Amino acid sequence: MIEANGIVQEVQGRTVLNGLNCRFDMGKIYGIIGPNGVGKSTFLQLLSGVERPKAGDVLLEGRSIYAYPRKQLARRMAVLQQSGLPPVGFSVREVVGMGRYPYQGWLGSDSDDSEAVIDEAIKAMGLTELRQRKMDQLSGGERQRVALAKLMAQQPSIILLDEPTTYLDIGFQVQLLDTVRAWQRERNLTVIAVLHDLNLASLYCDELIVLHRGAIAAAGAARDVLTAELIGRVYETTASIVAHPLTGAPQIMLQPSSYRDDGR
């Protein structure tokens, strides 16, 4: 379980998170949503222990996340940054293998069967034919899939994803999130993802947390959170909410400001 207690954080002198309190239970997928500039990525960095808040604390299993040695924390938690992986000159397989670093000893040895773990991660992300390709020969979407495969090779129990569908077309967005959800269910993982696409967040997340003006505007299941009133208040736009024809999950249909009842 992860808890955020009284989190206050500033970015360039501006308070973006002000007294934030929430908890993330194990074995669920959480989506963090909200307009640009509300501190979604900042919040994720605090949850990962990369940054420290100006006030408050983040607890992992009741212990401050900042008290964990980094290598020990890396065996529990993996982070996919918004920027993804740079186009360095390593091969896909070499980069995915870097996910095994937390399990390596002083001499770089790994007591587990790393080769099988790496192969499984590469296959899961559809990268088998690209495994020997250099990173600087890949598209942005392909590098994003390599980044997720590297996370899978790390074998964490908690995954933090910062806009994981960036650079991906709609087909790969669905494939990536399908893979994350199947992986999460198979291993009872906790996934916390910053997402811009509210419809994808509704389809894939067990619970949503809406950030607005430094606080949590709403939290809970998508059917309780994604309402026309909340969309208007938080995103300052008009929307209609419809049920997905297969899943029943709420889906947002935006309304252009020029729309008139006569349809012109």
CB-CB neighbours of 70 under 10 Å:
9
- The pLDDT value recorded for residue 109 is 58
Coil, strand, or helix at residue 98?
helix
Domains, the chain, ordered by start = 2-227 (3.40.50.300)
More confident residue, 180 or 29: 29
Question: What's the pLDDT at 241?
Answer: 94
The backbone region for 236, taken as left when phi is positive above 0, alpha when psi lies in -120 to 50, beta otherwise, is left
Residue with tokens 């690209």: 130
pLDDT winner (highest mean) among 28-32, 93-97, 117-121:
28-32
Confidence category of residue 140, pLDDT binned at 50, 70, 90 = confident
Which residues are registered as beta bridge partners of 246? none
What rounded mean pLDDT belongs to the chain? Answer: 88
In the chain, pLDDT over 70 holds for what percent of residues?
Answer: 92
Nearest of 187, 236, 201 to residue 37 by alpha carbon: 236
Prediction pTM value: 0.87
Quick: pLDDT tens for 19-37: 999 999 999 999 999 999 8
Instruction: Kindly list the strands in the beta sheet with 29-33, ordered across the sheet, starting from the edge strand earlier in the chain.
Output: 77-80, 158-162, 190-194, 29-33, 207-212, 215-220
Between CA 120 and CA 178 the distance in angstroms is: 16
**Which of 1-5, 68-72, 160-164, 243-247 is predicted least confidently?**
68-72
